[in-house]
Amino acid sequence: MLHSGELRHGRRPPFTWIYDCGTVTTPSQVESELDDLCAARKAPSGVKPKLDFVALSHFDKDHISGLVYLLGLFEVKTILLPFLQLWQRFWIAASADDLDTDFLEFLVDPVGYLLGVDGGAQATIVFVPPSEGDPPPAPDDAPPEGPPGEADDRTVTLRMKTEPVPDVVDGEIPNVTGKRLSAAKFLKKKSVLDIDGLWEFVPYNDARQATRCPAGFSAIVAPLIADLLAANNPADRQVALDALKDRYDRTFGRNAYRRNIISLFLYGGPVPTPTRARFLTGRSKHGFMMHYLNTVWSNLSTTHFSMLFTGDGSLNSAPRRTAFANFFTPFGRLGKASVFQVMHHGASGNSSPQVAALVAPRVTIFCSDPIRGHQHPDADVLRQFWTYNCIQVDAATGWQMLAGFTF
């Protein structure tokens, strides 16, 4: 799964972003997309093109497998991650069919791992803690601070409120991980990513709805984790991994759904209300430089001009839907969601019949492969969204939207 976008305003350099960057098929699939994206965002010879921020919904391989390759191609300013406690990260490790050393090192210490790969040290790493309580405030349409210079030439500015990572983070196991966690930041509660008062990104980490860590579980798995980290050959690593997997399976069951509940939702949309808006959409052949097929021009209402991505999140219960609606409905954010990426590739366990009407998107995106693997989307989820312009995005076909509006 990979979504890329850019925001242009006047003659300023575009503000660029990526949400998720991975695949369950061959690495060349996501790497070729990134190569095309890099070529399209031209930079002087020997200079990496810039990406203003990269957001990862969660830490499954099909959402992060291309991250290291991406950091080698681009100068990334900000990496946005949902905060998962150590026991949650090792639940991912225990569920992996093939746990390679790099993936294990990332799960043990995401910050230290990213700082150590080519291009990672230049990025600011920001964790999004669980989203609780009141929703973010009304969008801030104030211009950026400081001298304006030539208004159409100045760099687009990203504003967000962060705070240092606490010295002691709940859920981390002392002397096992977290050694480099202080190099990252936490996004302050109710903070958004604001781009010059023109556009905003609103992250939502529904971790409070996730499975709670049973009392004493961290102490039980700590020596099992230590054994896995100490294994210095594939055979010993597999023995340690099997023991860890057995403990997780006996505690939580073997259903991966419960592990996937934590997923960083990301809303993006204009801050002022557009007075005129149009967009160009089309299916495309594989590749970033897309050839439009079945292209249509469409006038948008001023209440539908935003996007909402969900990763592998879940809206399958009334409490989760209520928390989601309470977070995004104020100030019209949910009502403006035109493009909606369906949770977990369209898996039945993550959706419910009420979600389609709750979001009421103009375009519904299924990032999935109905032929291979789990053969998502599931038929019942596809039927739920059938009247909301369903689009299948897979290894062979992409989708693109070019949007324009005035204020």
Q: How many domains does the chain have?
A: 2
What's the 3-state SS for 103-171? Answer: HHHHHHCHHHHHHHCCCHHHCEEEEECCCCCCCCCCCCCCCCCCCCCCCCCCCCCEECCEEECCCCCCC
Last residue of a domain, one of 166, 197, 228: 197
Q: Is residue 268 assigned to a domain?
A: no
Same domain? 150 vs 19: yes
The answer to whether residue 55 sits within a structural domain is yes
In this structure, the answer to whether residues 284 and 189 fall within a common structural domain is no
Task: Answer with the one of 197, 215, 246 that is the final residue of a domain.
Answer: 197
29 and 132 share one domain: yes
The residue among 25, 33, 120 whose CA lies nearest residue 68 is 120
Q: What is residue 309's predicted lDDT score, i.e. its pLDDT?
A: 93
For residue 73, being part of any structural domain is answered with yes
pLDDT for the residue 149? 47
287 and 184 within one domain: no
175 & 314 share domain: no
- For the chain, the straight-line distance linking the first and the last C-alpha, in angstroms and rounded, comes to 32
One domain for residues 52 and 171: yes
- Asked whether 294 and 283 are in contact (CB, 8 A), the reply is yes
Show the domain range for 372: 273-406
Q: Verify that 173 and 295 share a domain, yes or no.
A: no
Q: Are residues 177 and 278 in the same domain?
A: no
For residue 358, the model assigns a pLDDT of 94
* 74 in any annotated domain: yes
Q: Is residue 241 part of a domain?
A: no
Q: Are residues 13 and 161 in the same domain?
A: yes
Nearest by Cα to 91 from 114, 110, 107: 107
Of 181, 197, 213, the last residue of a domain is: 197
Checking phi first, is residue 82 left (phi over 0); if not, alpha (psi -120 to 50) or beta?
beta
Both 154 and 289 in one domain: the answer is no
From the first residue on, what is the mean pLDDT of each consecutive set of 10 residues in the chain (407 residues)? 82 86 77 86 83 89 85 93 84 79 85 88 89 80 57 70 74 53 83 88 78 77 86 87 90 66 86 70 44 39 79 88 91 89 85 93 82 74 90 76 67
Domain presence at residue 68: yes
Same domain, 138 and 46: yes
